[in-house]
Amino acid sequence: MKKVRVSAPGKLMLLGEHAVVYDRPCLVTTIDTRVDVVLEKLRQKRIVINAPEVGIKSYQRTLAQPPLEKVPKGVRFLEAVLQIFYKRYRPKFGVNLNTSNGFSSKYGLGSSSAVSVCAATALAEVFKIKLSKRKIFDLAYQAVLEVQGLGSGFDVAACCYGGCLYFRTAGKVIKPLKNCKIPLVVAYSGKKADTPFMVKTLAKKREKNFSKIEKDFDQIGRLVEEGKKVIEDKNWLRLGQLMNANQKILQELGVSTSRLDKMIKAALTAGAWGAKLSGSGGGDCMLALVQKQRKHQVEQALVVAGGVLVPVSTGVEGVKVE
């Protein structure tokens, strides 16, 4: 029976995290580490999933079987995509689905959204259903929302469209940037972030301190608007300043950590143009914008500050059938 291999890239938030949950824009880039999904159409009416990197070996159910009450954590995103797809397009056959991950899911580089986008694309391909990028985005974003209950969808859009994007909440605007090659050094802070927890914590703060936090989000929105232009102009000096200004607000909002702060300070002292956390905060990765001549010094400083370097290049192709 027909078999396809589909891959999708990881992502990094450049500017605008958290504010993008509240109807402001953000800037996101894809990175050159990819998730792979191999999907085979089965004669039987069964779903079989193997996802070794998240501890899933031979997860099985029949098509008619309602989803388990407690779906194992490692298959939640895939199950959500499968259920939406089967309900919407009613294919008659089952599938065997195998995932492999080019980057650790603990880094917060978007493995859940990448796997969801790959699965939606692979299902459409084997069942010969023509889906536009927008339709794949909508399907995978709906799955992510069903599992997580929240999220702007910027990571799903990055996987679908590739490159660097100017993105507005729920995909109201998805605009590719002209330049995508950004000289970044990325390092992991040693702790996996809990994005839903970070978003909910900030939501509570926002309720209590509405006008102050709305002002912060407006300011982040302005940084993003300028960021879009300076990235296209390759004005790295200014982009660095915008990153620093964004980090200052994120710190005030309470989403940075002492390890992230230490790493960011180390990168700036070693000569980076700018540095900030990337994503929800509370852990995961930081990024530094660095000229070639300083790259080595910045990398060394980040390691001394306790970071784990994650070599990346930016602005790669979105989801593709291999």
If you write DSSP's letter for every residue of 173-225 in order, what string do you get? EEEE-S-----EEEEE-SS---HHHHHHHHHHHHHHTHHHHHHHHHHHHHHHH
127 binds ligand MEV (CB under 6 A): no
Q: Element (H or E) spanning 36, and its range? A: strand 25-42
Q: Which stretch binds ligand MEV (CB under 6 A): 12-20, 90-98, 222-230, 294-302?
A: 12-20
List the one residue out of 82, 77, 76, 75 whose CA is nearest residue 59.
Answer: 75
How far is it, in rounded angstroms, from Cα 203 to Cα 254? 12
33 binds ligand MEV (CB under 6 A): no
CB of 151 to ligand MEV, least distance (A): 4
166 binds ligand MEV (CB under 6 A): no
Out of 4, 12, 13, 38, point to the residue binding ligand MEV (CB under 6 A). 13
Instruction: Note whether 45 and 12 are within 8 A (CB).
Output: no
Length of the chain: 322
Q: Give me the torsion for CA of 70, 75, 79, 80, rounded to 10°.
A: 90
Q: Which stretch binds ligand MEV (CB under 6 A): 77-85, 149-157, 172-180, 267-275?
A: 149-157
10 binds ligand MEV (CB under 6 A): no
Nearer to ligand MEV, 6 or 157 (CB): 157
> Interface mask (CB under 6 A) for ligand MEV, residues 274-293, using x and -?
-----xx-------------
Nearer to ligand MEV, 41 or 76 (CB): 76
Chain residues that interact with ligand MEV, rule: CB under 6 A: 13, 17-18, 20-21, 151-152, 154, 195, 199, 279-280
